[in-house]
Amino acid sequence: MHHLVARGLACGIDGRTIVSGVDLDIPRGSMVALVGRNGSGKSTLIRSLIGLRPMTAGTVHIDGADLSTLSPRQRATRLAHVGQEDAPPEDLLVGEMVAMGRIPHRPPWAVTDTSDEPVVLDALAAVGMAHAVDRPCQHLSGGERRRVMLARGIAQGSDLLVLDEPTNHLDIHHQIQLMDTIRGLGATVLAAVHDLSLAAAHFDRVAVLHEGRLFAVGEPTSVLDPTTLHRVFDVDAAHLTDPVTGRAHLVLGAGAPVLADQRKAVS
């Protein structure tokens, strides 16, 4: 069963087409990385897929429901979005910020509800920020802010998470921890990511956007192959097999062609 299905999606900005002809199926419970060069249209596509930017053509269905028929509140209970530039307002406390993720579940105009506190604390614990619940958002570092914004998305409690560069600003420890946390949620995840090694190691499927069109979609090892990486990103690449896990690891840049040749020589 596919959680999100897009057909023939096109969208643009100020009359200029940015993304077109996108057919995308995201299986329920899977983690899909959206990769592509700067300006290829990842953020624009993501915003159209979740109804934040109007489509100029095509359809999107979430859980079988036509996105265009859903109200903002209905959308917010079906999916949580954490944008690339999302940042908490400085004068809010961390706990108050994360509690905003519960707004779609409250009656109109009901701003606070103490019954949400356990959900808020659990979401903060999931990103390793429970200790900061009473801190002002303006005291957070860039990476801490990203984690708090993700906690707001988790607190929203929907089973579809749409994330734009979730690991931006995070150190390597917190990048890996965040990926494990996201995996542990069991949700369907669509995330724009720049780190191709991260995409290969932590995601079930990779969608490559190139010049506003989906260039390839599939399992990381088949999609992130040297030919595609050369064509789309203009970089040399090779796959090495991790001797412990057996998973393929990407080697990018200088040295990659040499490694690829060595592997061919011994196989």
Q: Report the interface residues with ligand ATP, using CB under 6 A.
A: 13-14, 18, 36, 38-44
What distance in Å separates the CA atoms of residue 231 and residue 227, rounded to the nearest whole number?
6
**Closest separation in Å from C-beta 198 to ligand ATP:** 14
Closer residue to ligand ATP (CB): 41 or 220: 41
Closer residue to ligand ATP (CB): 137 or 198: 198
Strands 31-35 and 188-192: parallel
**Closest separation in Å from C-beta 129 to ligand ATP:** 25
Mapping DSSP to helix (H, G, I), strand (E, B) and coil, where does residue 238 land?
strand
Give the H or E element holding residue 200: helix 196-202
Cα angle for residues 35, 85, 221 (degrees, 5° grid):
15
Closer residue to ligand ATP (CB): 113 or 211: 211
CB-CB contact of 197 with 249 (8 Å): yes
**Closest separation in Å from C-beta 246 to ligand ATP:** 31
**Closest separation in Å from C-beta 39 to ligand ATP:** 4
Residue 75: name the closest of 43, 44, 50, 56 by CA. 50
**Closest separation in Å from C-beta 245 to ligand ATP:** 29
CB-CB contact of 62 with 51 (8 Å): no
Closer residue to ligand ATP (CB): 9 or 133: 9
Closer residue to ligand ATP (CB): 97 or 191: 191
Half-sphere exposure of 111 (CA within 13 A, CB side): 2
